[in-house]
Amino acid sequence: MRMFATITVAGAIAGLGYGAAAQDAVQTARAQAEAARTNPYCANVADAAADARFAWQMQTLSSLEKDIEQRIVQLEKKRAEYEEWLRRRNEFLKQADEGLVAIFSRMRPDAAAQQLASLKDEKAAAIIARLNPRISSAILNEMEPGRAAQLTGTLIDSAPRERAAEKS
């Protein structure tokens, strides 16, 4: 009865000449009345369908959460493996540096000067910086003056960076 009254009121409004808006209201009211008559099944199962959709979404989210947790565990294992590898590498490099410094400290100054002169500036300066100052000065004394000045300049340029790194 209520739908009939709505359609009747909408028809009366349309009949009075209120234009396109009234006609749209009439068409909407007719469509709603038709949907209510033809789809009572859909109206009755809408809540059950919404509940089923919610349960499916929760199950999907739960499985995704488990997958993410497994991936986090895998990433943590990889991170721990990488940290161990990095620790061993740094340890090896430290031992290699100490061994290299020991080798240069036992060499004759003229032989060490020839070897260091053929190395890149950063590497040669790093070795000279780690040597005993007496040995470093003897090696630099045996080098060609231009190369010794170049290595000394590299040592001076790297000193503020090392101090800044030590402070932080």
Which residue has better confidence, 123 or 160? 123
CA neighbours closer than 13 Å in the CB half-sphere of residue 14? 16
65: left (phi over 0), alpha (psi -120 to 50) or beta: alpha
Does residue 11 have a pLDDT over 70? no
Residue 161: exposed, middle, or buried by beta-carbon count in 10 A (0-12, 13-18, 19+)? exposed
Q: Taking residues 121-133, report their average pLDDT.
A: 87
Q: SS3 of 12, please?
A: helix
Answer for the pair 81, 107: CB distance below 8 angstroms, yes or no: no
Lowest mean pLDDT, pick from 18-32, 83-97, 114-128 = 18-32
pLDDT tens-place string over residues 26-80: 787 777 767 666 666 666 777 888 888 999 999 999 999 999 999 999 999 999 9
Taking the model in full, what pTM does it have? 0.43
